[in-house]
Chain A
Amino acid sequence: MSETPAGTKSSLQQVREQIVALLPRLRRFGRAITRHPSDADDLVQISIERALLRYEQWRPEAPFHSWMFGIMRNAWIDEARARGRQGKVLAPEEAGLDVPDNASEAQLRMLSVQKAMATLPEEQRLAVALVLVEGLSYKEAAEALDVPIGTLTSRLARGREALQKQLE
């Protein structure tokens, strides 16, 4: 373990600063992958705690967002497994996905897209969220998901096809 030269920040401090800078995108990613808006910030909080616990695992030459999105994805998968084991039924649709009476076309479209994302299988939803919502390259997204690029692109393609079908 190398020592920190005097005058440079510890890597823990670097990770804290990277997290704060990335917070808006982490919240957006959370909204895209969790089925219920109230879960999104909970997931971000858990992921921040895990990242700070494991800060030594981030290699500074690697893109921070790939590492951080990978932590969020793992935390979400752990959560989905825990719910599956307990046979928990997902909570009913949150208020907020209700359509207001005077909704504009743009608002209706937003809600349809959010709902369509929620119906995707986890793998496809994660791929779509990383590439199309967060704008990661195929390589970065594959790293975040810890899969080969071919796996990422096929999940992405299936997710997009499913979304297009639902939104036609």
Chain B
Amino acid sequence: MQFSDETLMAYADDEVDADLRRQIEAAMALDPSIAERIAKHRNLRVDLGAAFNGVLDEPIPDRLLDAADSSPTAATVTNLNAARAAKQRAAHPRRWSWVEWTSIAASLVIGILAGPHSAAAGAFRFVCNQRRRHRRAGRAVGRTHRSGRRR
């Protein structure tokens, strides 16, 4: 009797009903190639287990335990793209993007509270001058006003 590969896979996965199971087992007794095909399917499952089960024994990273404890809002859900981009930037520093200039400038505003002659204030003035130079440099970095109109 002929059984499709998909049927024998289902048998290997314990997903066939009692009738079909009996038919397959009866055929197996007469045809060794059926048992061979089933063994191949079972061995693949074993190989996949060997390839991926190791992680089950690893200690859980703190950040995942922290995430399970956290109270996320829609705004704080991590973006995989951003996570990867952040790692890449750390590994390969490049010319800063417009967004990064803006956020650096914003965070330096806090430094202004330390006083107009502080190092932070000096750095802030430097960043502002860079932004003006950057803007004059060209339209390549567009900027949209909060209202949605482009400036």
Contacts and interface: CB of A to CB of B under 8 A. Distances in A.
A binds B: yes
Interface of A: 16, 19-20, 23-25, 27-28, 31-32, 38-39, 41-46, 48-50, 52-53, 75, 79, 82-83, 86, 91, 106, 109-110, 113-114, 117, 128, 131-133, 137-138, 153-154, 156-157, 160-161, 163-164, 167
Contacts of B29: none
B15 interface: yes
Contacts of A153: 6, 9-10
A41 B84 contact: no
B67 A49 contact: yes
B77 A46 contact: yes
B53 interface: yes
B36 interface: no
B78 A49 contact: yes
B61 interface: yes
Contacts of A24: 55-56, 58, 60
A42 B68 contact: no
Interface of B: 5-6, 9-10, 13, 15, 40-41, 44-45, 47-56, 58, 60-61, 63-65, 67-74, 76-81, 83-84, 87-88
B44 A164 contact: yes
A42 B77 contact: no
Contacts, number: 119
A19 B67 CA distance: 10
Nearest to A22: B68
Contacts of B79: 46
A52 B70 contact: yes
Nearest to A131: B13
Given A28-B56, A113-B48, A49 B9 contact: no
Nearest to A34: B80
A75 B55 contact: no
A25 B61 CA distance: 13
Contacts of B81: 79, 82-83, 86
Given A23-B64, A110-B50, A164-B40, 4 more contacts: A86-B81, A132-B44, A153-B6, A160-B41
Nearest to A154: B6
Contacts of A109: 47, 50-51
A22 B64 CA distance: 11
A131 B79 CA distance: 27
A133 B51 CA distance: 9
Contacts of A133: 48-49, 52
Given A23-B64, A131-B13, A49 B76 contact: yes
22 contacts: A19-B68, A23-B64, A23-B65, A27-B58, A31-B55, A39-B80, A42-B78, A42-B80, A42-B83, A44-B64, A45-B63, A46-B77, A46-B80, A48-B68, A52-B68, A53-B72, A53-B74, A153-B9, A157-B5, A160-B41, A160-B44, A164-B40
